[in-house]
Amino acid sequence: MNKNKASLNPKKIIIWTFLFIGAVIMMTPIIFMFSASFKYNDQIYDLTLFTSDFTLDNYIYLLENTDFIVWLSNSLFISLFTTFCVLFFDSLVGYTLAKFQFNGQKIVFIAILSTLMIPTEMLVIPWYIIARDFGLLDTYLGLILPGIMTGFGVFLMKQFFEGVPDDYLEAARIDGVGEFTIFIRIALPLVTPALSALAIFTFLGNWTAFLWPLIVSSSAELFTVPVGLASFSGEFQSDWELIMTGAALATLPTLLVFLILQRYIIRGVVLGGLKG
Amino acid sequence: MTVSQKRSLCAWSFIGVPLIYFILIRFYPSLDAFSIAFTDWDIVGEKKYIGFDNFIVLWDDPIFWIVLSNTFEYLLLGVPISLLLSFVIAYFLDQVRFGHGFLRACYFIPFLTTAVAMAWVWRWFYQPVPVGIINLGLGKIGILQFDFLRSTTEALPAVLAPAIWAGLGFQIVIFIAGLRAVPITYYEAAKIDGATSWHILRVITLPQLRSTIVFLVVISSIGFLRIFDQVYNMTQEGEGGPLNATRPLVLNIYKAAFENFDMGMAAAQTVVLFTLLLIITIIQLRILRK
């Protein structure tokens, strides 16, 4: 206690106060969003955050009268499936590039690395044409296909697999373990920090993705949360309490996951950000 | 088969399928985008190759120049503001022990939100009285009101704000990681020499953070150049208005391709976007190599 008091100089208190005000400002949009989602239409015109007669009507309305449940499950399914594919394929390719010697290895790596240069916005037009020609417009496959492998993930995983000692893999080989089993059972568990970083980025990227889902899906049953929310909000322009409820439903899942896994998520973001 | 042949075969069996995927879903579309840029094509009819005509049309299109200048405005406002804010916050947050985790979480959470959802929250905030929170609050203390999204001059910063807000958390945690990587002995030596904290910041901290700063400048430049979700959701009918005052390049591409089905013009603009991103990456590599 005494130690703390000794370090409690005015400068520190001022810094802390400013940081606290900043933190409150950062959270303001999210707090007001949740607050409005529990209000009746005529209450959102006042600044009181939480009134005593809060209501769940907005949530009930959205779940009963719109496809929000469908959009949430679409987003969840697409994000999880894509993340699983990215983790598997990107680490398989990263592992192969890091731990095997073969002809054309350099070309393959540079080729995959070069895909990082191409922005999604450039690819959506050809993707749209491919999807149309193969009948993938307005299908789950069409939504998912462009994202199941990423150059970023391959690059990230390759860097981490290079840090795995060859001795471990050699020892397993001498014991007659198959190459694929070595990858799954021995190499992958050694790079779990990288895997979780990649999982966070991929899941978040897909959960919030807007441009491609907006382009490829046209029927409401295939909308993801962002696309559904955009079309819904465009329709209900002045019902701000309903729009805020939709926004809250879109935010809630990632917020909950963050509150549970906070430390891992921040560590993963730093790891993925710096190494990627 | 020798051991090395066997391993080579194994490697190819691992990367075979992914390689085909990368060729079909990344390489071929990239080349296709470049090739469409040189055509006149409404997506259903025949592609007609017209050389550089699309680029010439763009050059003469006043709206394209507005769009390009908007895009640079997002970039040139967004990058310095977000980096300055995030550095100042990270610098002080790193020194704070009491409530550190809580404060960090508050700054970080916006990064995890969906841009579309937050665009609508901010759009609500910006409404005129009696709906919008900001004008409502300003009205209570009796200061002036803002037009925000209805004004040709205020709309662009208003759209930019949620983009900066959402990105701060990422930049802050990266900056804090960078600050912690500076060897503590540097600071100790400086303190012994009696350096002030301002001096330490200038001579030790900032130079040590060079690669972190370059990384964040590049990442955030790329982000602001590609701004779309916020503009699409915050402006009337997703037009990038009022009077194109907020329309960025990606929205213009989207409109050309998926509303006017003028694929050639859209692809030509993606080539422009690609070139801008390429320039940024090259500058980054140049700086980092030094």
Mean pLDDT, chain A, whole residue set:
91
A40-54 pLDDT, tens digit per residue, is: 887 777 777 777 778
Whether A208 sits inside 8 A of B277 (CB atoms) is: no
Residue range B54-289, CATH number = 1.10.3720.10
pTM: 0.92
> Once rounded to an integer, what is the mean pLDDT over residues B79-88?
97
Strand segments, DSSP code E, in A22-151 are none
**Count of Cβ atoms closer than 10 Å to residue A65 Cβ:** 9
Backbone φ and ψ for B260, nearest 5 degrees, come out as -95, -10
Among B74, B108, B79, B36, residue whose Cα is nearest residue B253: B36
Residue of A nearest to B220 (CA): A273
Backbone φ and ψ for B37, nearest 5 degrees, come out as -60, -20
B252-276 pLDDT, tens digit per residue, is: 999 999 999 999 999 999 999 999 9
Backbone φ and ψ for B48, nearest 5 degrees, come out as -120, 120
Residue of B nearest to A201 (CA): B112
pLDDT at B25 over 80: yes
Write down the pLDDT at residue B178.
93
Write down the pLDDT at residue B103.
96
H helix count then E strand count, chain A: 14, 0
**Alpha-carbon radius of gyration of chain B:** 24
pLDDT interval class at B174 (50, 70, 90): very high
Give Cβ neighbours of residue A138 (< 8 Å, ≥ 6 apart): A216, A217, A218, A219, A222
Cβ neighbours of A238 in B, within 8 Å: 131
Write down the pLDDT at residue A1.
39
Distance from CA of B203 to the nearest CA of A (A): 22
Determine what percent of chain B is predicted with pLDDT higher than 70: 99
A189-220 pLDDT, tens digit per residue, is: 999 999 999 999 999 999 999 999 999 999 99
pLDDT at A3 over 50: no
Write down the pLDDT at residue A8.
67
Whether B173 sits inside 8 A of A269 (CB atoms) is: yes
CATH class of the structural domain A65-275: mainly alpha
Distance CA B51, CA B31 (A): 16
Ordered alpha helix ranges (H), chain B: 3-22, 28-36, 53-60, 62-93, 100-108, 115-125, 133-140, 155-180, 184-192, 197-200, 206-208, 210-225, 229-234, 249-258, 263-289
Tokens of A205: 């990227």
Cβ neighbours of A255 in B, within 8 Å: 109, 112-113
The answer to whether residue A256 neighbours chain B at the CB level (below 8 Å) is: no
Write down the pLDDT at residue A7.
58
B223-237 pLDDT, tens digit per residue, is: 999 999 999 999 998
Residue A68 · residue A191 · CB < 8 Å: no
Q: How many CA atoms lie within 13 A of A64 on its CB side?
A: 6
Distance CA B135, CA B145 (A): 6
Q: Dmax of chain B from CA atoms?
A: 85
Distance set, CA A241 to CA A54, A129, A235, B156, B202 (Å) = 12, 39, 13, 25, 48
The answer to whether residue A261 neighbours chain B at the CB level (below 8 Å) is: no
Among A45, A240, A239, A39, residue whose Cα is nearest residue B130: A45
Selected residue with higher pLDDT from B190 and A207: A207
Tokens of B79: 């990058």
Number of A/B CB contacts below 8 angstroms equals 255
Give Cβ neighbours of residue B133 (< 8 Å, ≥ 6 apart): A32, A47, B124, B125
Residue A35 · residue A186 · CB < 8 Å: no
pLDDT at A2 over 50: no
Write down the pLDDT at residue A69.
94
CA torsion sign for B230, B231, B235, B238 is negative
> Once rounded to an integer, what is the mean pLDDT over residues B77-82?
96
**Count of Cβ atoms closer than 10 Å to residue B193 Cβ:** 9
Residues 153-172 of A with CB under 8 A from B: none
Residues 11-50 of A with CB under 8 A from B: 12, 15-16, 18-20, 22-24, 26-27, 29-30, 32-33, 36, 44-47
**What residue segments make up the domains of chain B, in order of their start?**
54-289
Cβ neighbours of A269 in B, within 8 Å: 111, 170, 173
Distance CA B131, CA B129 (A): 5
On the question of a cis peptide bond just before residue B242, with omega within 30 degrees of 0, the verdict is yes
> Coil, strand or helix: which one is B113?
coil
Among A74, A70, A92, residue whose Cα is nearest residue A82: A74
Distance CA B215, CA B213 (A): 5
Among A34, A264, A214, A20, residue whose Cα is nearest residue B113: A34
The answer to whether residue A225 neighbours chain B at the CB level (below 8 Å) is: yes
**What residue segments make up the domains of chain A, in order of their start?**
2-55, 65-275
Determine what percent of chain A is predicted with pLDDT higher than 90: 72
Selected residue with higher pLDDT from B163 and B198: B163
Backbone φ and ψ for B30, nearest 5 degrees, come out as -60, -50
Cross-chain CB nearest to A26 (options B7, B106, B174): B106
> Once rounded to an integer, what is the mean pLDDT over residues B22-30?
95
Residue B118 · residue B159 · CB < 8 Å: no
B126-167 pLDDT, tens digit per residue, is: 998 888 888 888 888 877 888 899 888 999 999 999 999 999
Whether A233 sits inside 8 A of B120 (CB atoms) is: yes
Cβ neighbours of B263 in A, within 8 Å: 125
Write down the pLDDT at residue A276.
59
> Coil, strand or helix: which one is B49?
strand
> Once rounded to an integer, what is the mean pLDDT over residues B30-41?
95
Whether B229 sits inside 8 A of A233 (CB atoms) is: no
